Structure 1
């Protein structure tokens, strides 16, 4: 299984519509991939809090239309990162979009853990209420999380219990905490015995330098591929069967106690 992580930058002065077109063109270039990923809130910037309301859109808005068309043209599974979603009641959410190879919107996930400690995202956006998995056709099942969620292992346990074999984490992670980004991606992979695909952004979001360094980690915690700090397309080859082999060879998940269910 080939995965392509599109580590793009939110360039100052670049209109969102131009960035959509640029991202869609990058997706269309990945026709040899099976799965393509984009980062968190790449249409506006994860730290551009004052612009969230102006850039909010519905699930059938311009980003969804552009990404659905690109997924269909490339015939890939596409995790299109996340948008600021405006629901019919006017609420705002940090919502991830996953498209099938026919361009259909396959799954959405509203970010559960909002960053900001009662400011920024935590104050402006609603909280998601459930963990979400996305079966990728006849391939593996993906578990969906976003950026700050990476710090909360209990969410990943829920995803594993629901059958997740790949953990997809788009992010707008700040450069000041890049060491945590790499450490937590590996930790979630090891404890979940699953692949972690963590796709970040390059450049700056509203003056906050971004970590970049998108990374693919295998179920043993080994780094399969890692990007640098700038704009980059990171391509990695995955072996979905490695997840089952790892869990069989080192069946630590079967030793879980403390009232939690055993994984499927």
Structure 2
């Protein structure tokens, strides 16, 4: 977690983005938004199709009411092909901006007041009952 002039930011790196606890932990620690760095995809892009990947990010944003900024590089390094597809998703799960598989810079405005508004509308984090999950 990092305190910034814009609010708390949670950082999730690479494979951890697959684990629901990674984004959830950022949200529970007060993150207004979370940043994921997607390091690599396997050379066969069918191994992680773009649509299911995007839905995972969108669902995590909505369930945790946190904006997610996920960046990924493009090109090849050795046997690894980097898929690009960087994306910005708001706390409601809506895609704000999305890159393709080419090198590019995407710029998006993130309304951090949406985090508090989304959490008030759907208090998923407050209604959790982790003591019942074992």
Q: TM-score range by the shorter chain?
A: 0.7 to 0.9
Trace 1:105-254 onto structure 2 (pairs within 5 A).
133-137=1-5, 139-174=6-41, 175-176=45-46, 177-179=48-50, 180-254=52-126
- 2: CA distance between counterparts of 1:165 and 1:205? 33
The structure having more radius of gyration, on CA atoms, is: 1
Cα distance per residue 1:50-74 (max 9 Å; x no partner) = xxxxxxxxxxxxxxxxxxxxxxxxx
User: Gapped runs of 5+ residues in structure 1?
Assistant: 1-132
User: Gapped runs of 5+ residues in structure 2?
Assistant: none
Q: CA 1:173–1:187 in structure 2 vs 1: closer, same or farther (change >3 Å)?
A: farther
Relative to the length of structure 1, the TM-score reads 0.46
Trace 1:18-29 onto structure 2 (pairs within 5 A).
none
State the shift of 1:173 in Å: 3.1
Check conservation: 2:64, 2:124, Cα contact below 8 A: no
Cα distance per residue 1:192-246 (max 9 Å; x no partner) = 1000000001111212222111000000100000001010001111101110011
- 1: CA distance between counterparts of 2:128 and 2:119? 13
Check conservation: 2:28, 2:125, Cα contact below 8 A: no
Check conservation: 2:88, 2:95, Cα contact below 8 A: yes
Relative to the length of structure 2, the TM-score reads 0.87
Check conservation: 1:173, 1:181, Cα contact below 8 A: no
SS across alignment from 1:234? coil
- 2: CA distance between counterparts of 1:249 and 1:183? 21
